[in-house]
Amino acid sequence: MLTSNDLGAVLLTLKLAALTTAILLLLATPLAWWLARTRSAWKGAVSAVVALPIVLPPTVLGFYLLLAMGQNGLIGQFTDAIGIGLLPFSFAGIVIASVFYSMPFVVQPLQNAFEAIGEAPLEAAACLRASPIDRFFSVVLPMARPGYLSAMVMGFAHTMGEFGVVLMIGGNIPDKTRVISVQIYDHVEAIEYSNAHWLSAGMLGFSFVVLLILYSLNRTGRRA
């Protein structure tokens, strides 16, 4: 069964995933909107940077984030100056790291959804007296709902399974940075296979159910 340490890791992971997803939805919405509509020469470069975490080893991403959040890094100097202190080995640190790590999984579904809407409904709304902000909330958001659902599920699920970045930035501090995947690693290191099984099977089941829900929702969405 789950030990209290395991339970702590599960709760911490859920908290991390929820917070990361919420922050990402706020950040990714304007970014994906810009990417979907811009004709700027910067589009390619920005898309590539957003997509980097898909191909980079998490340790590489974690290493650079660690440097950036450290005493001599840009983020570190800033957080130190405003009195928060340094972020590595704290919950805030792994939240920021997760935001970078899961960014493409939230930006891309949103960008696809925004692109699929096209220009016509927005022009129709403008001709019906809707201001740009009004158009975004009354036309874009409802029409992009399936995209938001995909973005939320993917962002949440991807953050749940994060390991390398958390290990680099957060280390292994119970109830602060020790997430499920780190806890599983610890169990295996200690040859506690039965504990590792409980958590691993839980993750497997969770991931499968999430993807199942996502794909069946997408299918009914297309049929409607």
Partner 1 sequence: MKQIHLRFNLDRPDFSLAVNVHLPGSGVTALFGPSGSGKTSCLRAIAGLEPAVRGRLEVNGHVWQDDSAGIFLPTHQRAIGYVAQDAGLFTHLTVQGNLEYGMRRIPDYARRVSLQQAISLLGIAHLVARKPASLSGGERQRVAIARALAVSPSLLLMDEPLAALDVQRKEEVLPYLERLQQELAIPMVYVSHAPDEVARLADYMVLLELGSVLADGDTAELMTRLDLPLAHGDNAGVVISTIVEGHDPDYDLIALRFAGGQLRLPAASGVAGMSLRVRVQARDVSLALHSPQDSSILNSFAATVLEIAPDSPGQVMVALDCCGQRLLARITRKSCEQLAIAAGMQVHAQIKGVALLR
Residues contributing to the site for partner 1 (CB under 8 A): 120-121, 123-132, 134, 138-139, 142-143, 145, 224
Confirm if 168 and 152 have CB atoms less than 8 A apart: no
* Smaller CB separation from partner 1, 81 or 224: 224
Is the separation of the CB atoms in 147 and 113 below 8 Å?
A: yes
Tell me the HSE value of 72 on the side-chain side, using a 13 A CA sphere. 2
Q: Which is nearer to partner 1, 116 or 212 (CB)?
A: 116
Nearer to partner 1 (CB atom), residue 85 or residue 118: 118
Do 33 and 114 form a contact (C-beta atoms < 8 A)? Answer: yes
- In the bound complex, what is the minimum distance in angstroms from residue 163's beta carbon to partner 1? 39
3-class SS shares of the chain: helix, strand, coil, % to 5 = 80, 0, 20
- Kindly state the smallest distance separating residue 153's Cβ from partner 1, in Å: 20
Smaller CB separation from partner 1, 123 or 175: 123
Least separation in angstroms between residue 123's CB and partner 1 is 6
